[in-house]
Amino acid sequence: MLKKKPGAAGTSANPMWGGHYIGGPSVIMAEINASIDVDKRLYAQDIRASKAHAEMLAAKGILTSKDAKAIAQGLDAIQREIESGVFVFSSALEDVHMNIEASLKEKIGDAAGRLHTARSRNDQVATDFRLWLRDTLDELDAALKDVQDALIDKAESNADLILPGYTHLQPAQPITFGHHMLAYVEMLGRDRDRLSDARKRVNEMPLGAAALAGTSFPIDRAAVAKKLGFDRPMANSLDAVSARDFALEFLAAATILGTHLSRLAEEIVLWASPSFGFIALSEAFTSGSSIMPQKRNPDAAELVRAKTGRLLGAFTALTVIMKGLPLAYSKDMQEDKEQVFDAADTLRLSLAAMAGMIRDMQPQKTAMAEALEDGFITATDLADWLVRAANLPFRDAHRITGGIVRLAETKKCRLDQLTLAEMQAIDKRIAKTVFEVLEPVRAAASRTSLGGTAPDNVRRAARQARKRFLKG
């Protein structure tokens, strides 16, 4: 069993534990119990919530106005010290709350001890955490909006550019590059919706729940909630201090967002490779090799792709932390913030990198045009022509087209390089006008159905997306 060593850190009782503890923790206990290295980034939210709490206590006559004023001024001074870098956080005081309270006591004396009336660190940290995540969600929404803006710009400037669309990573049908960009705009739009929806559940206030059972003081939780911009106080004190589903919901949404970013990153990696050559990235978002001078590696895209693992890992970790906890608070929950902080930092960097890459990448028209030569990419258009011109059931048209494709494979030529006679030998109903649909540009332009890839559709969809996602 580990024992406290003489002269070790923590040899006196922590003052917040009062008279019950007269000794101090072991060195290992002090180390595992401290969270200040992680939760100090909640300082602004902690100060904001403490000022609102003190203001309410004074309004209810629980604090004197003099003490409330001193508390507010002291907290403002502490925030300035933290932001200027002169404040020294102490692991002996465990967390951001006690570091701030101890500093406040040094500044204003006994009035600082009255601030903790009618609250606990349990509802305090839950409130700070929600405030921080609410701020973060707003920042991430702005970052997502910037990625959408970059994608829409790229779509508008490449509405007519044709490249192969793929299924199973095999050439499927011709599409426009702009259409491809707008697909990710839609995905990220749903991500923004998920984060916005999660924000609604984040924006409920735990403060006033105290440790777990509420308080006997005549507090006004609604006033504090309004002051802090929450929609409402949480309705149940047990739930208020023990709930972390708001954090899990954020991590789940972050993982889905990360998956979307990873899919786009994967396509950038493929497109930037010489085997595709569909895009070029500058030195701003690539790196070289220590041994191969010719290399230009799409490392930014690869790292965005990899960081999805961190997001999923954070979601999994917090799920496991929470899955077996009885109500209300357990110290396990101290491990909640590191996962969320890391996920938020990961998303901020990934979104910034993705916006930069999208703006940086230059489509390579020649490579795209050459790729359209492979895979009989207008075969579906030939089948559709048979349906329209020969009034065939699609399954019959599909079978006939399959025979024509087989012939082209044998002759090692494109569909439009077959002669009319060769195609009529397979089905006599084929007419000369079939060649009009075998050209990829015309084929893409014909896809005018709602949501289709035709250039006019892309321009219209880009305008609509700009209005839906970027205005307001």
Active-site residues, by number, are 168, 289
Sorted by sequence, the CB contacts under 8 Å of residue 47 that are 6+ apart come out as: 75, 76, 78, 79, 100
**Nearest-angstrom CA–CA distance, 25 and 132:** 30
Virtual torsion, Cα 115, 117, 123, 129, nearest 10 deg: -10
- CA quadruple 234, 239, 243, 246: dihedral, nearest 10: -30
DSSP H stretches of helix in 243-329: 245-272, 299-322
Of 113, 312, 127, 92, nearest to 209 by C-alpha is 127
Residue pair 455/178 in contact by the 8 Å Cβ criterion: yes
Query: Sign (positive/negative) of CA torsion 408, 412, 418, 419?
Result: negative
Beta bridge partners, 173, equal 165
Contact assessment for residue 308 and residue 389, using Cβ atoms and an 8 Å cutoff? no
279-283 — which CB contacts under 8 Å span 24+ positions?
279/361, 279/362, 279/363, 279/364, 280/361, 280/362, 280/364, 281/357, 281/360, 281/361, 281/362, 282/360
Q: Work out the end-to-end distance of the chain between its first and last CA atoms, rounded to an integer number of angstroms.
A: 61
Distance from C-alpha of 141 to C-alpha of 10, rounded to nearest angstrom: 43
Pairwise CA distance, residues 115 & 57, whole Å: 8
Contacts of 69 (CB under 8 A, 6+ apart): none
Distance CA 445, CA 458 (A): 10
Number of helices (H), then strands (E), belonging to the chain: the values are 18, 6
- Of the candidates 108, 189, 173, 183, the residue with the CA atom closest to the CA atom of residue 141: 189
Instruction: Work out the number of other CB atoms within 10 angstroms of the CB of residue 91.
Output: 16
Q: Which run of H or of E encompasses 363?
A: strand 362-363
Q: Which two tokens stand for residue 164?
A: 């192969």
Backbone torsion region of residue 245, taken as left when φ is above 0, otherwise alpha when ψ lies between -120 and 50, otherwise beta: alpha
Q: Is the Cβ–Cβ distance between 188 and 144 less than 8 Å?
A: yes
